[in-house]
């Protein structure tokens, strides 16, 4: 991590990290200054020392600082190439494993889901790939984000058309409805098995279930290497053997996770928790 020269800014970054787990020091000085200035202007202060006192007195100000940095800009089927891997390789493999094991539960976790675009995209893919077999499985998609406001929007499932510019016309016709005001509403069948929850990946711990697929894309850029290493191994331990982890294209595995996960598609950052032997499976 770079050395921040201003002692008041160093203290501010430490205070935010201690309270929220988010390490703002991972950013360039110019970006930190620019993002913090939006909150400082709100209170009409110009010095970090002044803003430090506000942090501890203004309600929910720590959360608002984090929101200023963790801008939730997303869209449906973002990076279409990874969705091609998901629909053609990941989901079919998961379903085949379910058939072999006789297990019907299929759990997906969209970690850092922004306003729901990713998890609804995955829901559409599951409906499309499984077809009539969809109801033969007990499917649950969990979507979490630190931003409470995004959770409200995600549950509504209503978006501007620009958010769906990457969606295939067939998917649009099947799984969305155009509203009178021109906005796009996701159909109930896409939303029905999705559960949204405000969740801090650093402080939150585990969701209490085993997953077949975890997506955490373009989220870990906010975390230190130590936090990334811990989170990646929490993902590893939350996956079923043979389950998949997908991270962002610009992100990499760090620490123990580099050897724990098996690469499946390095270009699209798709990894697998290795399967276990039949002998080991008896102890699950």
Q: Are residues 196 and 237 in the same domain?
A: yes
Q: Is the domain of 65 the same as that of 84?
A: no
Helix (H, G, I), strand (E, B) or coil at 82: helix
87 domain-assigned:
yes
- The percentage of the chain sitting over the pLDDT mark of 90, rounded to a whole number, equals 70
Whether 151 and 255 map to the same domain: the answer is yes
CA distance 172 to 264: 29
- Per-residue pLDDT at 22 exceeds 90: no
Mean pLDDT, residues 261-280: 85
CATH number for position 248: 3.40.50.150
Residue 192: burial class (beta carbons within 10 Å; 0-12, 13-18, 19+): exposed
Domain that holds residue 103: 80-281
Provide the number of structural domains found in the chain.
2
The string of DSSP letters for 107-139 reads: EEEEES-TTTHHHHHHHHHHHHHHGGGGGGSEE
Q: What's the pLDDT band for 73 if we cut at 50, 70, 90?
A: low
Residues 201 and 116 in one domain: yes
**What does the pLDDT read at residue 207?**
78
Tell me if 99 is assigned to some domain. yes
> 34 and 136: one domain?
no
Indicate the burial class of 210 (C-beta count within 10 angstroms; 0-12, 13-18, 19 or more).
middle
Asked whether residue 121 is domain-assigned, the answer is yes
- pLDDT one-digit tens code per residue, 211-250: 999 999 988 876 878 889 999 999 999 999 999 999 999 8
Judgement on whether residues 136 and 84 belong to the same structural domain of the protein: yes
* 48-72 per-position pLDDT tens digit: 999 999 998 998 899 888 777 766 6
pLDDT mean across residues, the chain: 90
Residues 59 and 138 in one domain: no
pTM: 0.80
Is the pLDDT at 20 greater than 90, yes or no?
no
Whether 2 is in a domain gets the answer no
Is residue 189 one of the residues assigned to a domain?
Answer: yes
Judge if 135 and 95 occupy the same domain. yes
Between 71 and 11, residue with greater pLDDT: 11
109 and 169 fall within a common domain: yes
Tell me: pLDDT of 23 over 80: no
Q: Do 117 and 196 sit in the same domain of this protein?
A: yes
Q: Are residues 48 and 88 in the same domain?
A: no
Q: Would you say residue 122 lies in a domain?
A: yes
* Domain annotation covers residue 30: yes
């Amino acid at each position: 991590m770079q050395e921040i020269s201003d002692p008041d800014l160093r203290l501010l970054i430490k205070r935010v990290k201690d309270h929220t787990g988010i390490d703002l020091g991972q950013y360039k000085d110019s970006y930190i200054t620019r993002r913090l200035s939006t909150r400082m202007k709100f209170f009409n202060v110009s010095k970090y020392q002044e803003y430090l006192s506000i942090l501890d007195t203004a309600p929910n100000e720590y959360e608002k600082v984090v929101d200023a940095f963790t801008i939730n800009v997303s869209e449906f089927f973002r990076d279409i190439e990874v969705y091609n891997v998901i629909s053609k390789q990941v989901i079919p493999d998961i379903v085949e494993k379910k058939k072999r094991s006789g297990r019907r539960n299929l759990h997906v976790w969209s970690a850092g889901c922004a306003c729901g675009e990713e998890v609804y995209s995955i829901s559409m893919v599951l409906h499309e790939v499984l077809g009539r077999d969809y109801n033969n499985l007990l499917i649950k998609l969990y979507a979490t984000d630190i931003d409470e406001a995004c959770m409200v929007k995600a549950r509504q499932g209503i978006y501007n058309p620009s958010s769906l510019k990457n969606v295939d016309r067939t998917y649009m016709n099947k799984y969305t409805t155009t509203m009178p005001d021109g906005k796009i509403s996701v159909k109930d069948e896409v939303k029905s098995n999705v559960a949204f929850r405000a969740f801090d990946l650093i402080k939150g711990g585990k969701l209490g279930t085993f997953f077949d697929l975890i997506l955490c894309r373009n989220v870990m850029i906010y975390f230190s290497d130590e936090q990334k290493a811990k989170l990646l191994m929490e993902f590893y331990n939350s996956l079923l053997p043979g389950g998949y982890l997908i991270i962002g294209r610009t992100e990499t595995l760090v620490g123990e996770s580099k050897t724990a996960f098996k690469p499946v598609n390095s270009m699209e950052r798709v990894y697998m928790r290795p399967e276990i032997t039949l002998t080991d499976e008896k102890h699950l």
